[in-house]
Amino acid sequence: MIFLIFQNLTIRQNAIYFGNILLYFLYPKQVIKSLLNSSLKSSQYTNKNNQIYKYKSVKINCNLNKMASTLTKAQRLKNLNDLLSQFSNKVKQNNIKLPKFVKVVEVGPRDGLQNEATLLPAKDKIDLINRLSDSGLKTVETTSFVSPKWVPQMGDNMEVFAGINKYPNVSYPCLVPNVKGLEQALKVGVKEIAVFGAASEGFTQKNINCSIAESLERFRAVIEEAKKHNLLVRGYVSTVMGCPYQGDVDPEKVAEVSKILYDMGCYEISLGDTIGIGTPEKTDKMLTAVKKQVPVEKLAAHFHDTFDKAISNILVALEHGVSVVDSSIAGLGGCPYAKKQAGNVCTENVVYSLQQLGIETGIDLLKLKQIGSDITTKLKRDNMCLLE
């Protein structure tokens, strides 16, 4: 029995909640099955006046309760500028040293497009990657060497990688889940790969049907083979601040998995807030734990923007000394656990925020904005960029 208590929410917000409940009963069992393992006792959301309200729920999946933002882009941009202003004042008052340069890792062509409903032709992907390379980005995650049966959006991986212009100062990492994928990547000359682990047992079991320990042993084989071919390897750790299946994730577990991947030979560990439920407080605790196991200069922030918290969390990461941030052009990707919500944090918004703080990126923001506008037009989806 589902029981909700709404306090002072707008009519639209109440309609969204009850619509989500209706979806719970209408969705086919096979679609909803994997979403039934987490519940919220309480949560917070903001209304159009940016006031915080609470609701309580019993046995209702958090993924069916994400409400669409009621704020306009202009309102959200104002909130962002206010946040950046407050943060700048904090930095000055407390003499906080921030990184002078931040490397922005563009994940849109891989992490973004693989979660989009529209299948983009290979030629359009190639054009997207070439334009991103021309914008000043130094790392553009290109594709994923996975089975097209499971990720049809990446079925043209070899064609795409072979077809892009390889800029001399740009890296083009590709996600490789296993040795078979690595073999495919090597055929087209991939020089850098990424492996994708998790800090949640529930998430690991649901995704690849094994334990965290077993998954890491699989990655060990991939990393060792990659090293034989002098490939760089980047490690991802997902669900670092929460899991859709088991709820909260212990920061110490995040640190443990991060250290194992680092010790295996990953040159960088990207910490992913997979469902975007991180907060500045959670980010602080998580990074405090991970920094004890992995040097901060080897860490990257990969935060999703499901509840408009990604930039706030990135600011905390900057305070900790993290100088690498993952993002997706126009916010491509979405969150598979919160339909119609923001997923990957938007690259344009990240670069804008860094520039406002006086942090160098080497990226042409005007070019990014045009690229984001063009790709969202092709995909017929919303552009998460807040800038006009």
Out of 62, 243, 335, 346, the active site residue is 335
210 catalytic, yes or no? no
d(CA 350, CA 362): 13
357, 84 contact by CB (below 8 A): yes
d(CA 45, CA 24): 20
Q: Of 253, 250, 251, 259, which is closest to residue 293 (Cα–Cα)?
A: 259
Q: How many residues does the chain have?
A: 388
SS (H, E, C) the chain: CCEEEECCCCHHHHHHHHHHHHHHHHCCHHHHHHHCCCCCCEEEEECCCCCEEEEEEECCCHHHCCCCCCCCHHHHHHHHHHHHHHHHHHHHHHCCCCCCECEEEECHHHHHHHHCCCCCCHHHHHHHHHHHHHCCCCEECCEECCCCCCCHHHCCHHHHHHHCCCCCCCECCEECCCHHHHHHHHHCCCCEEEEEEECCHHHHHHHHCCCHHHHHHHHHHHHHHHHHCCCEEEEEEECCCCECCCECCCHHHHHHHHHHHHHHCCCEEEEEECCCCCCHHHHHHHHHHHCCCCCHHHEEEEEECCCCCHHHHHHHHHHHCCCEEEEEHHHCCCECCECCCCCECEHHHHHHHHHHCCCECCCCHHHHHHHHHHHHHHHCCCCCCCCC
Q: Of 274, 369, 271, which is closest to residue 325 (Cα–Cα)?
A: 271
Residue type, 297: E
Which residues are part of the catalytic machinery?
335
